[in-house]
Amino acid sequence: MALIPLEDLAAFVPDGALLALPPDNSLTPVAFARALIRAGRRDLRLLGVPVSGFATDLLIGAGCVVSVQSSGVSLGEAGFAPRFGAALKAGRISMTDATCPAIHTMLQAAEKGVPFMPLRGILGSDILAHREDWRVVDNPFAEGGDPIVLLPALSPDIAAFHAVMADRDGNVYVGRRHELATMAHAARRTLVTVERVTDVNLLEDERLAAGTIAATYIEAVAVAERGCWPFALLDEYPADAAHVAEYARMARGDEGFQAYLERYVLVAPARAAAE
Amino acid sequence: MIALEERMAAALAALILDPVAPQARHIAVGAASPIPAAACWLVKKLGHPVRLSLLHKHTGNPFTAGTRELFDLTGQGRIDLFFLGGGQIDGQANINLIGTGDWPGTGARFPGSFGSAFMYLMTPRTILFREEHSRRVFVPRVDIVSAPGVSAPGVFRRGTAQALLTGRCVFRFDAARARFTLASVHPGETAESVRAATGFDYDEPAEVPVTQDPTATELALLRGPVCDEMLETYPAFCRRVWGREAKEQAA
């Protein structure tokens, strides 16, 4: 496995990449997003799996993003995502709306290597009317008159998340967050930050193996302590709601957001990553 | 003194337990929904057998296959009841979680549809819930349809809205007519005050009942065991409504 410094992990992401990110409550790679900002990435196309939050808003505010596909972009309890709203209004980003199970289904199609998968619901939603890549067909297994939506397989260029730990072979532990496994299976490359590296082989322990994504799917791993901060990492540490509220306040305006970047993002890379 | 939140939770519990509606054995509750969550806990603490899946509860979350599992369960018809809201809701029960103005929300942009475009069609019962009852929210026609209130014949759909609960009243929804009827007004409101605050047209009976107060039992449950269950997920809500502080956060 390639265990590399956090800043080097950012180098795996080319400008213009389709980058899949989990939401705030599901192992969000915030330290990695900060590294992408420091690396000056541009024109990223972000995919929320299945929704987007803080890391997406941060990347948009820093000018790294050209488009977002997601089922929702918000800061949860802290309210609307301010930089997303401002960038959309100013026409600096384009938005492709989806609905949560559709994003899961498109990734599941990619993980199975099939060109599309059907999904119930959605019919009558304006989302469908604005998705030229989604089709409606008549269910071929019914007697007719049963329209159903077909969704194309979607393979992100990069999937990124923050896991609890990696072992020496590059297997990573995500607990019950199995949608991250689908994301990793579907993506061309998966980049992972972790709290720590363990000497235990995660696949040799039956209890840990069930929550482990095998190194087969992992391109590179970097250590980033408190890599989800200001969000929770499973039972490792809780969310820092006060910090998210501070961000929501500061990021309302351009100047406040710049001040936030200077204070919390454009500082020296995480000490842990260099170790 | 009964808080509005307590009234709304009790009114939602009554809708959940509506004897006319198919029984709700498994209810899912989304993230930003403290009042629906309180209503579900109230139903459970009243002794009714119901399985609750609270999506953002950290401990006791039943999903072991990730967030996708909720949608898979719902796709199979294993979730009986779900709650949805809307930045805009119209008289045909269409909901808009995307934004106002032209696509994709050139006026005010809301966060997005989340799972609504799927859940609304695949759940046998949906209770619409929006505390703010104003003409800004309850409009004649939503600007953007996140999820439709009713569907054309032939479209696979398990159910529609059963009712709409607001900070002022309860509406019932008749899917065959795609139209709301005022069912009751909360204390302090009248048929006229509700009409004045509602942008869509609806039916109302000659005599509009007042929404029933929560019983003493319900209030005691809400303020005790229901609050206990909610402290972890909704600390701000519990502090505001019941003056309860969450214990030191687990490290």
For the stretch A86-119, pLDDT in tens is: 999 999 999 999 999 999 999 999 999 999 999 9
Q: Which of A98, A125, A179 shows the shortest C-beta gap to B147?
A: A125
Q: Which of A98, A148, A178 shows the shortest C-beta gap to B65?
A: A178
CA distances A142 to A137, A188, B188, Å, are 11, 35, 53
CA distances B126 to B120, B122, B137, Å, are 7, 10, 18
Domains and CATH numbers, chain B: 4-242 (3.40.1080.10)
Q: Which position has the token pair 């322990």? A: A205
Q: Name the nearest CA neighbour of B102 among B142, B151, B149, B137.
A: B142
Cis ω for the linkage preceding A230 (within 30 of 0): yes
Q: Which of A73, A77, A235 shows the shortest C-beta gap to B111?
A: A73
CA distances A154 to A49, A184, A186, A213, A252, Å, are 12, 12, 7, 20, 33
Tell me whether A202 touches chain B (CB under 8 Å). Answer: no
Tell me whether A176 touches chain B (CB under 8 Å). Answer: yes
- Residue A44 is predicted with a pLDDT of 98
For B192, what's the count of Cα atoms within 13 Å in the CB-facing half-sphere? 0
Higher pLDDT, A70 or A274: A70
Phi, psi of B121 (to 5 degrees): -90, -25
- Residue B58 is predicted with a pLDDT of 61
- Chain A residues near residue B76 by CB distance under 8 angstroms: none
Alpha-carbon span A250 to A202, nearest angstrom: 41
| pTM metric for this prediction | 0.94
- Chain A residues near residue B58 by CB distance under 8 angstroms: 232
Taking 90 as the threshold, does the pLDDT of residue A274 lie above it? no
Which residue in chain A has the smallest CA separation from B147? A125
So what's the architecture of A6-98+158-274 in CATH?
3-Layer(aba) Sandwich (3.40)
Provide the 8-state DSSP code for A19.
Answer: E
Q: Region A235-246: what's the mean pLDDT?
A: 93
- Residues A74/A80/A82/A83 CA torsion (nearest 10 deg): 30
- Residue A37 is predicted with a pLDDT of 98
Alpha-carbon span A20 to A22, nearest angstrom: 7
SS3 B50: coil
pLDDT band at A269 (very low <50, low <70, confident <90, very high): low
Q: In the A/B pair of chains, how many CB contacts fall below 8 A?
A: 139
Cis ω for the linkage preceding B235 (within 30 of 0): no
For the stretch A132-146, pLDDT in tens is: 999 999 999 999 899
Taking 80 as the threshold, does the pLDDT of residue A30 lie above it? yes
Q: Which of A81, A126, A237 shows the shortest C-beta gap to B103?
A: A126
CA distances A175 to A183, A208, A270, B65, B238, Å, are 15, 8, 25, 10, 29
Q: pLDDT averaged over consecutive 10-residue blocks of chain B (251 residues)?
A: 96 96 90 88 96 74 76 95 96 98 94 96 97 98 98 96 98 98 97 98 97 97 95 88 73 37
For the stretch A42-96, pLDDT in tens is: 999 999 999 999 999 999 999 999 999 999 999 988 899 999 999 999 999 999 9
Q: Which of A125, A182, A235 shows the shortest C-beta gap to B146?
A: A125
Interchain CB distance below 8 Å, A127 and B113: yes
Interchain CB distance below 8 Å, A74 and B156: no
Structural domain spans, chain A: 6-98+158-274, 101-152
Query: DSSP letter string over A62-85?
Result: TT-EEEEEES-BB-GGG-B-HHHH
Planar angle of CA A33, A227, A108, nearest 5 degrees = 70
Planar angle of CA B147, B151, B154, nearest 5 degrees = 135
Interchain CB distance below 8 Å, A126 and B144: yes
Task: Residue window 87-116, chain A: list those with CB within 8 Å of chain B.
Answer: 88-89, 95, 97-102, 104
Which residue in chain B has the smallest CA separation from A101? B71
